């Protein structure tokens, strides 16, 4: 069965949409969905989503594009959440230097503090990395966390190998399904199979087959999985089993206790 390792379900769905999706899980062959938080303001929504749906698991962290509103007090709050709510990872955290803005130092400070919290709580991290791969790698070399996922990976083969060496899996999703995405397709074809996890990043990064205005959703995951299976020359069931195993490796708390 498939696991969507990165899905902002709380950003899109009404209560009804979520329960309808929950009812279709078996038919879609989807086992679990991981929802990372982005700021203090959506933690309660994400926790509630998980409470209502046993297939929905959460990571807790502050996204680099939301750090302008973050205070040191919020980091203490995060420390408390990591102790009391036992997320599968610290995330979504990272660096986004894609947009030219002047908060890069603050982003990096908040990122480093969250890496230290991940280390303290022995949790993996779910990373958002945009226009800042080498900066993220530099900090991961300094603060030795227990792996995790570099979500929506779009770097070079060499950078991919650096993440893999540090125990990370790389997240692939809708972006690789476009005809022009030859670099991502090459990576998806040649990277070690055990280093890949799949995601929809709902509501962002719609796959190529959605029409303009159609909403991305975790329901697209099996087709993304089929796309990867074709690239790798594997049967879809084999691909799903490998992705499932890889996701459990990246986020060990998903297994056993949490099934």
Residues in touch with Zn ion (CB under 5 A): 92
Shortest approach of Zn ion to residue 86 CB, angstroms? Answer: 20
Shortest approach of Zn ion to residue 173 CB, angstroms? Answer: 10
Indicate the residue among 7 and 231 with the shorter CB distance to Zn ion.
7
Backbone angles phi, psi at 235, to 5 degrees: -75, 150
Shortest approach of Zn ion to residue 199 CB, angstroms? Answer: 8
Indicate the residue among 126 and 160 with the shorter CB distance to Zn ion.
126
Shortest approach of Zn ion to residue 116 CB, angstroms? Answer: 21
Indicate the residue among 11 and 178 with the shorter CB distance to Zn ion.
11
Determine the residue with CB nearest Zn ion.
92
Indicate the residue among 118 and 231 with the shorter CB distance to Zn ion.
118
Sign of the Cα pseudo-torsion (241, 198, 257, 250, in order) = positive
Q: At 206, list the tokens.
A: 């719609």
Shortest approach of Zn ion to residue 211 CB, angstroms? Answer: 23
Indicate the residue among 35 and 164 with the shorter CB distance to Zn ion.
35
């Amino acid at each position: 069965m498939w696991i969507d390792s990165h899905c902002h379900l709380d950003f899109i769905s009404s209560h009804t949409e979520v329960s309808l999706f929950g009812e279709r899980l078996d038919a879609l062959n989807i086992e679990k969905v991981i929802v990372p938080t982005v700021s203090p303001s959506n933690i309660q929504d994400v926790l509630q989503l998980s409470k209502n749906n046993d297939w929905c698991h959460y990571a807790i962290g502050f996204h680099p594009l939301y750090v302008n509103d973050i205070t040191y007090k919020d980091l203490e709050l995060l420390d408390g959440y990591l102790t009391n709510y036992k997320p599968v990872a610290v995330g979504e955290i990272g660096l986004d230097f894609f947009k030219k803005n002047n908060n890069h130092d603050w982003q990096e400070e908040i990122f480093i503090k969250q890496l230290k919290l991940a280390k303290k709580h022995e949790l993996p991290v779910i990373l958002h990395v945009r226009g800042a791969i080498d900066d993220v790698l530099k900090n991961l070399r300094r603060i030795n966390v227990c792996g995790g996922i570099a979500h929506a990976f779009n770097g070079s083969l060499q950078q991919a190998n650096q993440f893999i060496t540090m125990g990370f899996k790389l997240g692939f999703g809708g972006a690789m399904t476009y005809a022009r995405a030859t670099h991502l397709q090459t990576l998806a074809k040649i990277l070690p199979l055990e280093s890949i996890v799949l995601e929809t990043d709902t509501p962002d990064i719609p796959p190529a087959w959605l029409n303009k205005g159609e909403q991305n959703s975790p329901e697209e995951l099996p087709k993304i999985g089929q796309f990867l299976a074709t690239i790798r020359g594997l049967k879809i069931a084999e691909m799903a089993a490998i992705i499932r195993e890889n996701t459990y490796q990246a986020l060990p708390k998903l297994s056993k206790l949490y099934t």
